[in-house]
Amino acid sequence: MAKNLSGDLQVASANRLADGIVVWLDDAGQWTDRLEHAAIARDPRSAEILLERARAESFTVVEPYLVAVAEDEQGALEPLSLREKIRASGLTFEAIAAEAVRYA
């Protein structure tokens, strides 16, 4: 699948204040926990504006910042850095459940 890996595409991300979970700013200026709903800045000027909007909407989140993403032909987004991939998709191993007594 062809992807735009130029690093030009960016989304605004933060952690939600109340519970710390990862969120992204959508086109309506709301914070969403779904990356696919994130507003995309496609050039440096748009990225500046997106970050300003994120900061203006930061009452319920902690320290918004820009994240470089790639977009495939279907419009699916994927962060470029491993750190942001893990933030977006969660742990890369299976965490144990509360009632687990044997998880090996």
Rule CB under 8 A: say whether 96 interacts with another protein.
yes
Cα 101 from Cα 41, distance rounded (Å): 46
Rule CB under 8 A: say whether 86 interacts with another protein.
yes
Q: Which residues pair with 62 in a beta bridge?
A: 15
Binding to another protein (CB under 8 A) within 9-38 occurs at 15, 17-22
Q: Which is nearer to another protein, 2 or 82 (CB)?
A: 82
Rule CB under 8 A: say whether 69 interacts with another protein.
no
Q: How far is CA 6 from CA 16, 41, 60, 79, 99, in A?
A: 28, 13, 31, 12, 45
Q: Which is nearer to another protein, 46 or 55 (CB)?
A: 55
Q: How far is CA 17 from CA 2, 61, 63, 103, in A?
A: 36, 4, 9, 32
Residues that bind another protein (CB under 8 A): 15, 17-22, 59, 62-63, 80-83, 86-87, 90-93, 95-104
